[in-house]
Chain A
Amino acid sequence: MYRVLSRIEEAVAGEVSSASTPSAFPPASLVVSVPGPRRMSGPGPRDPPRFAVTRAGADATLKLTGAWTTQNLTAAVAAPERAVPSDAVRVRVDISGLTALDTAGAWLVTRTLRHLRKAGHAVELVGSGAAAASLIETVARSDVPVPPPPPPDNPLVAIVVRIGRASVFIAREARDLINFLGLTVIVLGRLGLRPWRLRFTALVSHMERAGLNALPIVGLIAFLIGVVLAYQGADQLARFGAQIFTVNLVGIGVLREMGILLTAIMVAGRSGSAFTAQIGTMAVNEEIDAMRTIGLDPMEVLVAPRVIALVLVMPLLTFYADLMGLLGGAVMATAVLDISFVRFARQLSEAVTMWSFWVGIIKAPLFGFIIAMIGCYEGLKVARNAESVGRQTTRAVVEAVFLVIVLDALFSILFSVLGI
């Protein structure tokens, strides 16, 4: 487009500015006119930036007009030097017609001069007032070569690098978690020897927040899962006329697996993430460093009460979830299968043993320990920026849920080997 412009203007004899080019040509390609964001006052910086080239023998003049400001610059005026015929010996860049110039415009002028010089022209800048000259000088002084941004890697290499990084990261994370597990056990052991050092206020507060306040949501979810189990079970078992065994399904399912798993996932989402966010925000705020400086051990002050709170609260929540799950199953059985509460209870007592209940409950303190430990660990790993809090919180929930399910699978294998 620029070449077209310059050729046209060479053809039109004498001083021709782009504003007065023959209208036979579509104006859009000649006159750069952008209604940039409106300025509310000030000396008309709204008039669009333009440039035009005139030739006189071996000399060419590049005349810039209009407001060359950040708001007005567009791709159309980004490279005025291309409009200058390459056989011109001397090029005068005339900026006397500018109505406004800011650093962006001054930069463009500087860049144009540099490009023209590089192309072998003898370049001269004319028509700059004192203000424009000082601005251009300032900008030119700041014209330091910038190292290019690191190039994006070869995608194949990038994939390998990412896999490698992730593997190393996972290995490190596992090692650090085991380290942290050791630290936690040591702190808990120390507290066992000196129980008066445990912060009881914090412990009770965490028990309330992680346990008592979780009752509504854990109860509701467990109830609904009971309903779902009963309904799906009834649907399948009815084909064999064995609807009554729905009770066995609900009883075993809820007591052994569903109650504890749902509770663990809910607690990981509610409290594990909260631990990370609380401790992480403290880390951002340098509170952890302050604690260490004062001589308080964050493991003892922050981690121990949270871990103990979840270890104590998880079995209770699981017990509650078991009850609500069975209740949901019973309600469903009554409503759809015409199995009364009494029959449900009788069938249940035949179907489940005390061990079914204990298999679920035994896992609860361990899961609570894992969730609290990972929540605290990720919180302490937060770096001093806001983004990091979010990242670690996500990681805490994902890792906690992952570990809980892996452990649950291991428990299943263990129990089946033991024949429970």
Chain B
Amino acid sequence: MTESGTTAHRDEQAIIRISGLVTRFGANVIHDGLDLTVRPREVIGIVGASGSGKSVLLRAIIGLIRPAAGRIEVFGRDIRALDARERQALRQRWAMLFQDGALFSSLTVAQNIEVPLIEHTRIPPPLRRELAALKVALAGLPPEAAHKYPAELSGGMRKRAGLARALALDPEILFLDEPTAGLDPIGAARFDALIAELRRTLALTVVMVTHDLDSLYAICDRVAVLIDKRVKVGTIESLLREPDPWIREYFLGPRGRAARQAAARARGEHANEG
């Protein structure tokens, strides 16, 4: 076991613990001995250059991709050692928001949200419909959006509808794949605020792949940077002390600096209000 692996194991507070993860497509190695620990109720952002395997990492955690080697523990259980029933039970404790919502296009938003409820719970239909409406409201959608089809919604609304469906079963972990990509800055900021709010009220653990520096500063507790097929994890401040040129350019480039100033300003205003 690598040294970082042992440190990961000393950290008792872990809702997801990845050690020695290797994934590859053919001869193309994506991750090589990657270790990552996610703590309960934190928001962790996964960043990295295009093609560095951010989405692959997410997909490996939720079991859409089978890793070549390594161990992925979620809620203290190795996900590769689960039988079909346990895996099914595990799936109800996490949820993923795909990039464009991945809503079922033949169903209305409310019906989309009801799909997991019908499949996995015994909630009676009237209550189920109310719950669907509740999730619509929690995701910040107007009530009338419930009866619309995904094709009738804007990109931002589709994302919120996808989030509402992800929240249907009250997951403990929420995976987000580029939640703010394709949203205008105002929509993106609102979506960030929504995630932060939901994390607070629903006690969620959030793992998000993102390219949005503003999101990183605004809502992420820690950031995992994918570099050289592994990750470097820490708060943004601690990552800034890393000598790695990519990390420095990422956070200290013109966009990174702008995001940082914006975040500092927001914090200042927040302090004044408080």
A residues near B (Cβ < 8 Å) are 34, 36-42, 69-71, 73-75, 78, 102-104, 107-108, 111, 131, 134-135, 138-139, 142-147, 149-150, 383-387
Contact = CB atoms under 8 A, between A and B. Distances in A.
Interface stretch (B21-29, B47-55, B138-146): B138-146
Contacts of A40: 75, 77, 86, 89-90, 93
Given A108-B127, A383-B151, 13 more contacts: A37-B92, A37-B121, A70-B131, A75-B127, A104-B131, A107-B130, A107-B134, A134-B201, A143-B134, A145-B143, A146-B133, A147-B146, A386-B105
A385 B103 CA distance: 11
12 contacts: A39-B89, A40-B75, A40-B77, A40-B86, A41-B76, A71-B92, A71-B120, A75-B122, A78-B124, A102-B202, A131-B203, A387-B106
B201 A135 contact: yes
Interface string B201-217: 11100000000000000
Contacts of B120: 37, 71
Given A37-B92, A102-B170, A103-B170, A147 B144 contact: yes
Contacts, number: 107
Contacts of A386: 105
A144 B137 contact: yes
Contacts of B92: 37, 71
A111 B138 contact: no
A40 B144 CA distance: 37
B62 interface: no
Contacts of B75: 40-42
B121 A71 contact: yes
A36 to B, nearest CB: 7
Contacts of B135: 103
Contact of B123 (A42, A70, A150): A70
Contacts of B89: 37-40
A103 B130 CA distance: 12
Given A36-B122, A71-B120, A142 B169 contact: no
Secondary structure dominating the interface of B: helix
B137 A149 contact: no
Main secondary structure of the interface of A (DSSP, over half): loop
Contact of A387 (B105, B121, B123): B105
A149 B170 contact: no
A70 B137 contact: no
Nearest to A146: B133
A73 B124 CA distance: 8
Contacts of A138: 138, 197, 201-202
B127 A70 contact: no
Interface core residue of A41, A69, A146, A387 (most chain B CB under 10 Å): A146
A103 B77 contact: no
Given A40-B77, A102-B170, A103-B134, A147 B124 contact: no
A187 B174 CA distance: 53
Contacts of A144: 133, 137, 143
B117 interface: yes
Interface string B60-99: 0000000000000001110000000010111011000000
B147 A150 contact: yes
Interface in B151-200: 151, 167-170, 172, 197, 200
